[in-house]
Amino acid sequence: MKNEIKICKSIDTLSQFLGELLKQRINEIPDGCYFSIALSGGSTPKAVFRFLVQHFSQQISWEKILIFWGDERCVPPNDKESNYKMAKESLLDLVPIPKSNIFRIKGENDFKKEALEYENIIKQKIPLINGVPAFDFFMLGLGTEGHTASIFPNHLELFHSEKLFDIATHPETHQNRITATGKLINHARFTVFLVTGEAKSTIVANILNQKPGWEEFPASLVQPKNGKLLWLLDEKAASKLNNKIA
């Protein structure tokens, strides 16, 4: 799998690039059809969402977008930890996406039941490719220790799960999470890692330069079967990359 990499000067130029990319793909969607996006949580998307509100709220046909999440913390929707709350406050309340187009993971519910529930919603709403729902756009972040979505190191079984959503536990906080599995992630049409900041430069180089042990990182297993994979980095996150990009 050839990793496509785009290195941007700053998080603003990265957000501008992402906005243009989304605008082009969404605005060409025929009327009556939809563009499905799975959002990630974290501080990077929060900054990107705010930029999109400021610079793309009039340029993107937001009503064509169906919003889902790639992972969610098992907390109520008004909890400061909630990925839904972050997206709602930074983006969804500030652009004209119909509320009926937003499908949150109900972190307040029994997490085993909710993982199944959400999987069924995804199967109903997202067109299948080879029998698996294929998101038009899957947003992912990267933890400094190589996690993505809520698939943490030493839990690669979640990547190989037959389910589309499964249960994870944060290794430090022991917070329960509901996360997309590798089966769903790797069936997306277009997957984008959004990675910024010096703190991520080592893990980015470990993965993209395929340093010894690189295969142990969950993010390394994001290798879309048929879709496109783009690593969208700022210069700080890319600062330790050598030119031997895998």
Q: Quick one: which segment of 18-26, 35-43, 49-57, 113-121 binds ligand 6PG (CB under 6 A)? A: 35-43
User: Shortest approach of ligand 6PG to residue 81 CB, angstroms?
Assistant: 9
User: Shortest approach of ligand 6PG to residue 232 CB, angstroms?
Assistant: 12
Q: Is 161 in the site for ligand 6PG (CB under 6 A)?
A: no
User: Shortest approach of ligand 6PG to residue 130 CB, angstroms?
Assistant: 25
Distance of CA 89 to the CA centre of its chain: 18
Beta strands in the chain (DSSP E): 4-8, 35-39, 65-69, 71-73, 128-129, 132-133, 137-140, 165-169, 176-180, 190-195, 228-234
User: Shortest approach of ligand 6PG to residue 143 CB, angstroms?
Assistant: 4
Q: Is 28 exposed, middle or buried (0-12, 13-18, 19+ CB in 10 A)?
A: exposed
Angle at 95 between CA 43 and CA 232, to 5 degrees: 40
Helical axes 11-27 vs 43-56, angle rounded to 10° = 60
Locate 185 and state its tokens.
Answer: 């992630």
User: Shortest approach of ligand 6PG to residue 76 CB, angstroms?
Assistant: 15
Contact between 137 and 38 under an 8 Å Cβ cutoff? The reply is yes
Question: Which residues, 37 to 56, sit near ligand 6PG by CB under 6 A?
Answer: 40-44
Residue entry with tokens 């997309």: 180
Q: Quick one: which segment of 97-105, 113-121, 125-133, 139-147 binds ligand 6PG (CB under 6 A)? A: 139-147
Site mask for ligand 6PG (CB under 6 A), range 62-101, x = bound: ---------x-----------x------------------
Contact between 108 and 76 under an 8 Å Cβ cutoff? The reply is yes
Q: Looking at beta carbons only, is 64 or 140 nearer to ligand 6PG?
A: 140
Q: Exactly one of 19, 133, 141, 182 binds ligand 6PG (CB under 6 A); which one?
A: 141
Q: Which residues bind ligand 6PG (CB under 6 A)?
A: 40-44, 71, 83, 141-143, 147-150
